[in-house]
Amino acid sequence: MRNDTTPHVEPLVLWQNACGGSDLSRRDYQHLIACTDCETLAGEITDALDDIEKALTAGAFTLTLPKAVQVLAHAAKIIAN
Ligand SMILES: [Zn+2]
C-alpha cells in the first residue's frame, strides 16, 4: 500500500543531509520515516559516506569511488520510478 502521489525525498537532499550539510524539511522528514525506499537509500548513502571517509583516511579513495557511483545510480533509479 504505497502512496505514489507522495514524491520521494531528492537523493541529493538525502546525501547533503547525511553529510551534515543541510537539514531535512518537515515534509521530507515525514516522508522519509514512512517510505521504505527513501529509508533504504538514506542508509545506503550513509554506508557509502562511511566507506569514502575510511578510504580517504587510508589514502585509497579510488577503491571505494565505485561504491559511491553505485549509490548515486541507485538513487537515479528511484527518482525514475
Ligand atoms: Zn520515498
Average pLDDT over the chain reads 80
Q: What is the pTM of this model?
A: 0.66
Which residues are CB-neighbours of 74 under 8 A, at least 6 positions away?
A: 41, 44
Distance CA 70, CA 6 (A): 25
Q: How far is the CA of 77 from the centre of ligand 1 (A)?
A: 12
Q: How far is the CA of 53 from the centre of ligand 1 (A)?
A: 26
Containing structural domain, residue 38: 11-80
Q: Is residue 38 part of a domain?
A: yes
Confidence band, pLDDT 50/70/90 cuts, at residue 47: confident
Q: Is residue 6 part of a domain?
A: no
Q: How far is the CA of 56 from the centre of ligand 1 (A)?
A: 30
Which residues are CB-neighbours of 31 under 8 A, at least 6 positions away?
A: 6, 7, 8, 9, 38
Q: Is residue 33 part of a domain?
A: yes
CB 13 within 8 A of CB 22: yes
CB 31 within 8 A of CB 8: yes
Q: How far is the CA of 57 from the centre of ligand 1 (A)?
A: 32
